[in-house]
Chain A
Amino acid sequence: DVKVTQSSRYLVKRTGEKVFLECVQDMDHENMFWYRQDPGLGLRLIYFSYDVKMKEKGDIPEGYSVSREKKERFSLILESASTNQTSMYLCASFYGGGKAGEQFFGPGTRLTVL
């Protein structure tokens, strides 16, 4: 079974702090994604990566950056956390193989910014 793990289930940070959210997948997937989930808005794409060191902006990249130094790991960085970044963050991955396919999701990190 594909396993996508996220470094923390719950995180509380202060406004202005730099925040790192880590995601690791164990199935050699090329594609990895970061979404945020908010009530009534569903999941919205922040950033994604097709391969190591490659990244592309999603629909709501402002205030975020990402890093993918190894194939299995995709990090989301909040350079200076703000209260409007309080949310549930979900990481996902899939193999791809040239066409879109099922994405596998991690358990999520619930981030609260005070």
Chain B
Amino acid sequence: AQSVSQHNHHVILSEAASLELGCNYSYGGTVNLFWYVQYPGQHLQLLLKYFSGDPLVKGIKGFEAEFIKSKFSFNLRKPSVQWSDTAEYFCAVTAYTGRRALTFGSGTRLQVQP
């Protein structure tokens, strides 16, 4: 069974600071990887995804993530955060075959101070 670890539970940054949120997963086979974001009071929505190909993927709102297979990691980055990035961020993984449900990490609450 797969599992996902997000080591940063609560991150506080000032506007314009750079962001990196860690995500590690455990699964021996081929995986699909996702970052979801939940803004206060809103639906969970997809930020970016990795299925195959270029391990550096770009998502919405200037976010990107890098898949490093040897480290089982899929860290999320943004060079300069804005107050509007305040949200909870979830990393998720699903195996390429078999059960198609997502396994989520515990989430990281990001607070950006103006």
Contact B100 A100 (CB under 8 A): yes
Given A42-B90, A43-B104: A100 and B44 interface contact (C-beta under 8 Å) = no
B24 an interface residue at 8 Å Cβ cutoff? Answer: no
Contacts of B9 in A (CB 8 A): 40
CB distance from B50 to the nearest CB of A (A): 11
Query: How many of chain B's residues have a CB under 8 angstroms from any CB in A?
Result: 28
Return chain B residues, CB-CB under 8 Å to A103: 102
Among B12-20, B61-69, B70-78, B91-99, the one that faces the other chain is: B91-99
Which residues, 22 to 71 on B, are CB-close (under 8 Å) to A?
A: 32, 34, 36, 42-46, 49, 51
Over the window 8-48 of chain A, the binary record of Cβ atoms lying under 8 Å from chain B Cβ atoms (1 yes, 0 no) is 00000000000000000000000101010000111111001
Q: Given A40-B9, A43-B90, A100-B96, is A106 in contact with B104 using a C-beta cutoff of 8 Å? A: no
Q: Contact check, B105 vs A42: say whether CB atoms are below 8 A apart.
A: yes
State in angstroms the CA–CA spacing of A2 and B104 once bound together: 21
- Judge whether B34 and A106 touch: CB under 8 Å: no
A104 to chain B minimum Cβ distance, whole angstroms, is 8
Give chain A nearest CB distance to B18 CB in angstroms: 24
* Residues of chain A at interface, number, CB under 8 A: 26
Verify A102–B101 contact, CB threshold 8 A: no
Is A90 an interface residue, CB under 8 A from the partner?
yes
Is the beta-carbon distance between B34 and A102 smaller than 8 angstroms? yes
Does B82 lie at the interface of the complex (its beta carbon under 8 Å from any beta carbon of A)? no
Pick from A41, A48, A56: contact of B106, CB below 8 A. A41
Expressed in whole angstroms, the Cα–Cα distance for A101 and B94 within the complex equals 9
| Interface pair A105/B43, CB less than 8 Å apart | yes
B95 contacts across to A, CB distance below 8 A: 100
Closest chain B residue to A105 by CB distance?
Answer: B44
13 contacts between A and B (CB under 8 A): A33-B101, A42-B90, A42-B107, A43-B90, A43-B104, A48-B99, A48-B100, A50-B100, A100-B95, A100-B96, A101-B32, A102-B34, A105-B36
The 10 A-B residue pairs whose C-beta atoms are closest, nearest first, are A42-B104, A100-B94, A105-B44, A43-B104, A42-B106, A100-B100, A45-B101, A42-B107, A100-B32, A48-B101
